[in-house]
Amino acid sequence: MTKTIEELIPDYLRGLPVYVPGKPIEEVERELGIHAVKLASNENPLGPSPKAMEAARAALGESHRYPDGGTHALRKTLAELRGVTPEELFVALGSSELIDLASRVLLRQGLEGITSEGSYAPFSIAIRASGAKLVLVPQRDFAFDLQAIAKVITPRTGVIYLANPNNPTGTAFTGAEFREFVERVPDGVLVVLDEAYIHYATSVGLKDSVEVYRRRKNLLILRTFSKVYGLAGLRIGYAIGRPELLSAMNKLKTPFNTSGVAQAAALAALDDKEHVKRCIETNAAERKRLCEGLAKLGLRPVPSATNFVFIPVGPEAREISDDLLHLGVIVRPLGWMGFPEAIRISIGTAEENEKCLSALAQVLMKRTGKGELATR
Ligand SMILES: Cc1ncc(COP(=O)(O)O)c(C=O)c1O
């Protein structure tokens, strides 16, 4: 009997959830006919560095050529910056491609991948897509429970995914906690440490993980240009790891993964330290203001080390997000990420945050009659 195409798709792929991105501004404006602000995907509201834009424009003229598939210039600069060799660097289509490649290289049916409940969904998707068993460890106080994770490591464990700080809860573990954890992980298990939001976390040193990597080589550190560097639309990020692992990942990546425009913009963005500083400072000031405004509305956001805040709002979280959408504020309901009673709001510009707070006050007024939520 001949098989259908559907039957060729393995069971572990058929059951996979689809990654749900934040709603694009254009879609909301088209559907609702209103002006909207997007605070749903943890993007940089100040945009790319002007230097990065200039470099991208210049690189556009070479778009008839394939880009440098080996990303030599970018890896050389990153190597100097991070204190590693170019062979320990791998450039990819954002951290997303790196998350996927790590599982594709190291996991398969019969093995296990570990991550936390309430963390970045692509970790679980990458583990399950490899055919390996997904082991999800509950959080403690909305944060990675590193001790509990260390306890579920078995001889079948291949990869552990951690995000520091974590998305969507915004919490971070310290360098000391991480060092202690890594000591408990056997050499034959890879720890993938996703540091997409690390620039916003003053509690964690920017160099902490590279110092750990120098001593324990079973670490893959992921960084992205999508957040503090403001290049989410260009799709570029990088990993620091053992050359043997990176060369296996290199065999599986699509040829010419990152464009020449993205590589040029990333190089220039690294050089614009002023812009990075301004983005970090603006985020910290706006995060404080937004959290104070939320507290006045009776809300209790989880203290955030990132460019977003996680807010438990109760069983009407989905409805509250929908109401905000109709007032032109796109936030993220978190049901599909395992938090049906919470929403996530990305930190915007002062103007965007003001609009968000006043829309939220209106929504709470409608739902509670008081303009605020009872203290929870
Ligand atoms: C923890 C985490 N890792 C990675 C990413 C994706 O980064 P990239 O745009 O580099 O694929 C995100 C995006 O929101 C994230 O929250």
3-state secondary structure of 315: coil
User: What radius of gyration, in Å, describes the C-alpha atoms of the chain?
Assistant: 21
- What CATH number has the domain spanning 50-272? 3.40.640.10
- Across the range 250-255, mean pLDDT stands at 94
Which residues, in sequence order, are CB contacts of 8 under 8 Å at separation 6+? none
Give the model confidence (pLDDT) of 274-328 as tens digits. 999 999 999 999 999 999 999 999 999 999 999 999 999 999 999 999 999 999 9
Look at residue 376 in the predicted model and tell me its pLDDT.
Answer: 43
Whole-number Å distance between alpha carbons of 93 and 44: 18
pLDDT averaged over every residue in the chain: 94
Question: CB of 59 closer than 6 A to ligand 1?
Answer: no
116 CA distance to ligand 1 centroid (A)?
16
Output the pTM of the full model. Answer: 0.95
Look at residue 233 in the predicted model and tell me its pLDDT.
Answer: 97
β-pair partners for 38: 330
By most ligand atoms within 8 Å of CB, the mutation choice from 20, 44, 90, 95 for ligand 1 is 95
Band (30; pLDDT cuts 50, 70, 90): confident
Look at residue 374 in the predicted model and tell me its pLDDT.
Answer: 57
Half-sphere exposure of 319 (CA within 13 A, CB side): 9
C-alpha 354: how far from chain center: 25
Whole-number Å distance between alpha carbons of 133 and 128: 6
Look at residue 2 in the predicted model and tell me its pLDDT.
Answer: 81
Instruction: Show me where the domains of the chain are located.
Output: 5-47+274-368, 50-272
The DSSP string of 147-179 is HHHHHT--TTEEEEEEESS-TTT-----HHHHH
Least confident of 12-26, 54-68, 342-356: 12-26
Question: CB of 224 closer than 6 A to ligand 1?
Answer: yes
221 CA distance to ligand 1 centroid (A)?
13
3-state secondary structure of 33: coil
Structure-block tokens of residue 21: 């991105």
Percent of the chain with pLDDT over 90: 85
Question: CB of 139 closer than 6 A to ligand 1?
Answer: no
| E strand intervals along 195-279 | 219-224, 237-240
- Give, for 316, the enclosing helix (H) or strand (E): none
- Give, for 136, the enclosing helix (H) or strand (E): strand 133-137
170 CA distance to ligand 1 centroid (A)?
13
Whole-number Å distance between alpha carbons of 88 and 85: 5
- Across the range 254-264, mean pLDDT stands at 96
Which is more confident, 6 or 101? Answer: 101
Whole-number Å distance between alpha carbons of 376 and 316: 14
365 CA distance to ligand 1 centroid (A)?
34
Which ligand 1 atom is the nearest neighbour of the CA of 97? 11
112-116 and 89-92 as β-strands: parallel, antiparallel, unpaired?
unpaired
95 CA distance to ligand 1 centroid (A)?
6
Q: Is 368 exposed, middle or buried (0-12, 13-18, 19+ CB in 10 A)?
A: middle
Among candidate residues 298, 234, 300, the one with its CA nearest the CA of residue 269: 234
Look at residue 372 in the predicted model and tell me its pLDDT.
Answer: 67
- Across the range 56-79, mean pLDDT stands at 97
> What letters, b where the CB count within 10 A reaches 16 and e where it falls short, cover 69-98?
eebeebbebbbeebebebebbbbbbbbbbb
Which is more confident, 15 or 61? Answer: 61
Look at residue 375 in the predicted model and tell me its pLDDT.
Answer: 47
AA identity, residue 30: R
Edge-to-edge strand ranges of the sheet holding 342-346: 308-312, 342-346, 332-333
Look at residue 373 in the predicted model and tell me its pLDDT.
Answer: 67
Give the model confidence (pLDDT) of 230-247 as tens digits. 999 999 999 999 999 999
By most ligand atoms within 8 Å of CB, the mutation choice from 119, 123, 144, 167 for ligand 1 is 167
Whole-number Å distance between alpha carbons of 283 and 63: 34
Question: CB of 306 closer than 6 A to ligand 1?
Answer: no
Band (205; pLDDT cuts 50, 70, 90): confident
Backbone φ and ψ for 243, nearest 5 degrees, come out as: -55, -35
Look at residue 27 in the predicted model and tell me its pLDDT.
Answer: 86
55 CA distance to ligand 1 centroid (A)?
23
> What sign for the dihedral angle of Cα 364, 369, 371, 373?
negative
- Across the range 23-33, mean pLDDT stands at 85
Look at residue 89 in the predicted model and tell me its pLDDT.
Answer: 98
Whole-number Å distance between alpha carbons of 333 and 363: 15
Which ligand 1 atom is the nearest neighbour of the CA of 168? 16
- The CATH class of the 5-47+274-368 domain is alpha beta
Task: Judge whether 347 and 283 are in contact, CB under 8 Å.
Answer: yes
